[in-house]
Amino acid sequence: MYIKMATLANGQADNTSLSNNSHGSPGSNGHMNGLNHSPGNPSTIPMKDHDAIKLFIGQIPRNLDEKDLKPLFEEFGKIYELTVLKDRFTGMHKGCAFLTYCERESALKAQSALHEQKTLPGMNRPIQVKPADSESRGDRKLFVGMLNKQQSEDDVRRLFEAFGNIEECTILRGPDGNSKGCAFVKYSSHAEAQAAINALHGSQTMPGASSSLVVKFADTDKERTMRRMQQMAGQMGMFNPMAIQFGAYGAYAQALMQQQAAIMASVAQGGYLNPMAAFAAAQMQQMAALNMNGLAAAPMTPTSGGSTPPGITAPAVPSIPSPIGVNGFTGLPPQANGQPAAEAVFANGIHPYPAQSPTAADPLQQAYAGVQQYAAAYPAAYGQISQAFPQPPPMIPQQQREGPEGCNLFIYHLPQEFGDAELMQMFLPFGNVISSKVFVDRATNQSKCFGFVSFDNPASAQTAIQAMNGFQIGMKRLKVQLKRPKDANRPY
């Protein structure tokens, strides 16, 4: 490995003309700060150009750390800082790094000599050496959708070059190399990008595309985190009616999520959780942080395409109407007793003895209990968590019966795994569920992905519709509407 690195470095040696006097001392211990001591003055405080560029280094084999990387990059100048990115929880090498040279010129030289010029051992794409995202000014990267899958980088470039200087143009491809029909295009400035959107979005329909060209600003990493979170929720079979309420009560939601994330993180560090759960914890922390910054929590991600501004994407974000909003949930965290943190946590589903809690009327609490209950049905994903957080005792099964007119809901697009119990858990926060029934194929015993829920009063039913209709689980959105009255008054 080291030999190969040296080969690469030597291969680039011709490009090195600056700062040859500044190579680090041979016995480097891996601390990359302070490498720039000048020989005659070891106590020099590390200095870099005021306009130094922080570089992002991508496509680094995960078995290379700072000291392995250093020789390669020193060829181009004195290194001010070199940091391999690691996962916050697992410490795992993320396959990329940040590199700052003392001199701006060194960064430019390294970029031109190395970026996409060489593939490091074990990697299938060339090394990336370019200014970090943090260095860039403003939003200038576009997502381009609805391309023809035959279109190449050059084709896209030709389409976009009239609107400005294109710094990057990448077709997204699957592992097989086939285009996914979309691309990223980065301009030098926000204005250029905006001009391209104005001119090209919806302007034409590529052959074979199902709708007209989409040109919009690419997701920010905040949005990407949300998207990932949502996908994970889908994969883990997690659902969370609370998300809707979170939308209306951002600060409280944020507090809850941070607490939950903190608990998960601390448990994870104690070794009780599997890596998936640790990942979940990390995502939750990020999400909590993001919500603080004003990103809507309720629709984790709008799924519709186009350039509709986030937050008003159809279906409209359901809001919790009066029954819950007024009676159950004032929007203020329960912290009147002077112990906000601990009490808030325990009051929201992680209490060791939830069954003994006399305040179970709070829909927040019920919804969280529902999540946990559901989690209990998924030992594969949740086994460790189930052990770490005691579950509420199983509910006593109820008589299945239909409620009065206006109290019975038809629910479609249920997850395949949902049974009667999960269906009930999902709707419990909105009122007294007197029955829940998922329809099952007689031959296969598989859910038909629809079912019925009955409340004992119409207001609860309406609340549930408001809250859950359009609620996204995985890739699907629930359809929740009143059961058609004509369908006989026969119990399920």
Partner DNA sequence: TTTAATT
Q: From the CB of 313, what's the least distance to DNA, in Å?
A: 11
Binding part of the chain for DNA, among 80-88, 151-159, 272-280, 330-338 by CB under 7 A, reads: 80-88
Shortest spacing between CB 184 and DNA, in angstroms: 5
- Based on the shown chain and the rule CB under 7 A, indicate whether residue 170 belongs to the binding site for DNA: yes
DSSP letters for 175-241: TTS-EEEEEEEEESSHHHHHHHHHHHTTS---TT-SS--EEEEPPPHHHHHHHHHHHHHHHTT---T
The token pair that represents 125 in the structure block:
């794409």
Q: If binding is defined by CB under 7 A, does position 289 make contact with DNA?
A: no
Q: How many residues interact with DNA (rule CB under 7 A)? A: 38
- One-letter amino acid at 235 equals Q
Residues 23-42 that bind DNA (CB under 7 A): none
Q: Which stretch binds DNA (CB under 7 A): 157-165, 208-216, 339-347, 372-380?
A: 208-216
What distances in angstroms separate CA 62 from CA 13, 74, 261, 274, one per listed residue? 24, 20, 27, 22
Task: Using CB under 7 A, pick the residue from 128, 313, 391, 469 that binds DNA.
Answer: 128
Tell me which stretch binds DNA (CB under 7 A): 25-33, 53-61, 454-462, 480-488.
Answer: 53-61
Q: Record the tokens describing residue 32, joined without a space.
A: 């990359």
Indicate whether 139 belongs to the interface with DNA (CB under 7 A). no
Which residues are registered as beta bridge partners of 433?
455
Rounded Cα distance, 19 and 6, in Å: 19
The residue behind tokens 């250093």 is 70
Q: Shortest CA distance to 333 belongs to which of 348, 322, 353, 318? A: 348
Q: Which is nearer to DNA, 85 or 344 (CB)?
A: 85
For DNA, the closer of residues 276 and 421 by Cβ is 276
Stretch that binds DNA, among 90-98, 263-271, 329-337, 463-471 (CB under 7 A): 90-98
> Residue from 6, 162, 208, 221 that binds DNA (CB under 7 A)?
221
Contact 126, 119 (CB under 8 A): yes
Task: Give me the least distance between CB of 56 and DNA, in Å please.
Answer: 4
- Dihedrals φ, ψ of 408, to 5°? -110, 130
Phi, psi values for residue 395, rounded to 5°? -75, 150
Interacting residues toward DNA by CB under 7 A:
54, 56, 58-59, 83, 85, 88, 94-96, 98, 125, 128, 130, 132-134, 141, 143, 145-146, 170, 172, 180-182, 184, 209-211, 214, 216, 218-219, 221, 224, 227, 305
